[in-house]
């Protein structure tokens, strides 16, 4: 009953006989343990994290729930393989808009092999990882005009410079002509998705406060996943009352290491930079709305 996830925007994808994650109908995400040490390391992280009592409950909810490992039929037809069984974070959504943002100004870390170091730092310099402290890895947006998902080409996303990343974060919360690169994103959902007491920004700030003091883990090469349902902001009537809210989840823990008493300054710095980008968008939208309101009040 397992199938290829519909809403994955980055990472290995189970397509054309390749090994990748699978989902079931009950909200579970099956991630194959990668052959090398990375799979083991990620499973070990989930084991240790899910039992860790030093991590407060309000932080635990930013991580997918872990249900152990299980042997399931692999997506590449190579028979039964061990998979981590995780919460499928998009399972409560009908048409989720999803963005994967890899946090940190480097994806390598002390004591990696020279081969791995060189591979990482090349990509870190080519993307916005070094300059911004984060890079957009992929995203998809539900387009109401087309009643389908719009997703940019992976090569385009990885080619973003500062302005490209800023534009993507605006587009992600916009309702207008997504495929048209000349149109200016209207940021129609910015206040609801990024703003508010339960919005993305509030969640990011809660994570930031934890990262300022936690020295348990270093989240190398880890991503923030942002998910929301733009339907729920457009729907009229009573159907929206239980609409799934915009949420932040941390994912991809194959390179998590012990913090050994030092904060994860690499993740924290990148997170602060990302937060500033989100704040900037909210500020522009608020200023625009203020102008609109005062125009209305003045009869224009």
Binding flag, residue 115, a copy of itself (CB under 8 A): no
DSSP strand E in 171-238: where? 217-220, 223-229
Q: Is 205 in the site for a copy of itself (CB under 8 A)?
A: no
Residue with Cβ nearer a copy of itself (6 or 126): 126
Select the residue interacting with a copy of itself from 4, 71, 162, 209 (CB under 8 A).
162
Contact call for residue 110 and a copy of itself (CB under 8 A): yes
CA Rg value for the chain: 20
By CB under 8 A, residue 105 contacts a copy of itself: yes
Shortest Å distance, C-beta 198 to a copy of itself? 22
E strand segments, 36-163:
66-73, 80-87, 96-103, 134-143, 148-150
Question: Is residue 130 near a copy of itself by the rule CB under 8 A?
Answer: yes
Shortest reach from residue 62's CB to a copy of itself, in Å = 19
Residue with Cβ nearer a copy of itself (39 or 133): 133
Residue 167 in the binding site for a copy of itself (CB under 8 A): no
Query: Site mask, a copy of itself, residues 61-100, x = CB under 8 A?
Result: ----------------------------------------
Q: Cβ neighbours of residue 198 under 8 Å, at least 6 residues apart?
A: 245, 246
Provide φ and ψ at 124, rounded to 5°.
-60, -35
**268 belongs to the binding site for a copy of itself (CB under 8 A):** yes
Look at phi and psi of residue 225 and say left if phi exceeds 0, alpha if psi is from -120 to 50, else beta. beta
Please report how close the Cβ of residue 106 comes to a copy of itself at its closest, in angstroms: 7
Q: Does 245 bind a copy of itself (CB under 8 A)?
A: no
Other CB atoms within a 10 A radius of the CB of residue 222 amount to 22
Residue appearing with tokens 């923030």: 224
Q: Which is nearer to a copy of itself, 188 or 202 (CB)?
A: 202
Rounded CA separation 68/44 (Å): 10
What DSSP designation does 3 have?
B
Burial class of residue 290, CB neighbours in 10 A (0-12, 13-18, 19+) = exposed
Which residues of this protein are in contact with a copy of itself, per CB under 8 A?
105-106, 109-110, 121, 125, 130-133, 162, 212-213, 215, 260-263, 265-266, 268-270, 272-273, 276, 280
């Amino acid at each position: 009953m397992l199938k290829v996830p519909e809403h994955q925007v980055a990472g290995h994808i189970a397509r054309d006989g390749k090994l990748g994650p699978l989902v079931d109908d009950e909200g579970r995400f099956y991630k194959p343990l990668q052959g090398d040490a990375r799979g083991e390391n990620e499973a070990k992280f989930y084991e240790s994290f899910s039992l860790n009592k030093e991590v407060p409950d309000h932080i635990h909810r930013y991580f997918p729930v872990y249900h152990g490992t299980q042997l399931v039929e692999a997506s590449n037809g190579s028979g039964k393989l061990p998979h981590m069984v995780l919460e499928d974070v998009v399972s409560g959504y009908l048409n989720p808009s999803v963005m994967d943002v890899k946090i940190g100004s480097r994806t390598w870390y002390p004591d990696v092999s020279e081969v791995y170091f060189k591979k990482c730092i090349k990509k870190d310099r080519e993307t916005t990882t070094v300059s911004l402290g984060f890079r957009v890895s992929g995203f998809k947006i539900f387009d109401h005009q087309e009643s389908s998902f719009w997703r940019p080409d992976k090569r385009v996303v990885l080619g973003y410079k500062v302005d490209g990343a800023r534009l993507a974060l605006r587009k992600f919360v916009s309702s207008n002509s997504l495929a048209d690169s000349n149109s200016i994103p209207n940021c129609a959902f910015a206040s609801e998705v990024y703003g508010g007491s339960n919005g993305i920004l509030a969640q990011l700030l809660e994570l930031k406060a934890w990262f300022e003091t936690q020295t348990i883990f270093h989240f190398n090469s880890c991503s923030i996943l942002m998910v929301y349902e733009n339907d729920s902001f457009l729907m009229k009537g009573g159907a929206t009352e239980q609409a799934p809210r915009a949420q932040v989840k941390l994912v991809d823990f194959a390179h998590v290491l012990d913090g050994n008493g030092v904060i994860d300054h690499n993740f924290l710095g990148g997170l602060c930079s990302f937060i500033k980008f989100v704040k900037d968008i909210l500020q522009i939208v608020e200023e625009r709305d203020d102008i609109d309101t005062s125009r209305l009040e003045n009869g224009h």
